[in-house]
Amino acid sequence: MKLSPRLGASALVLLLVAAVLAVAVLLWREPPQNPDEVKGVRATFEGCRGALAHGQAEAALRYFPRSLDDYYARINSEEAGSAPGDTPQVDALVRASLDHCVPNRPLSGAPLADVLQRVLDRGLIDPRAIEALTIDQVVVNGGQAKADLAWEGRPLPVRLAFVKEGAEWKIDLLALLPAAELAMQVDRLMERQSAEQQIRRLVNPLPVL
Separation in Å, CA 189 to CA 93, 94, 98, 183, 184: 17, 20, 25, 10, 9
Distance CA 106, CA 87 (A): 25
**pLDDT, one tens digit for every residue, the chain (209 residues):** 444 554 455 555 556 666 655 555 445 455 677 889 999 999 999 999 999 999 999 999 999 999 999 999 888 775 555 556 789 999 999 999 988 988 876 655 678 898 899 999 998 889 999 999 999 999 999 999 999 999 999 999 989 999 999 999 999 999 999 999 999 999 999 999 999 999 999 999 999 98
SS3 of 93, please? helix
Strands (E), the chain: 133-141, 144-151, 154-165, 168-171
Question: Using only C-alpha atoms, what is the Rg of the chain?
Answer: 22
Write down the pLDDT at residue 74: 87
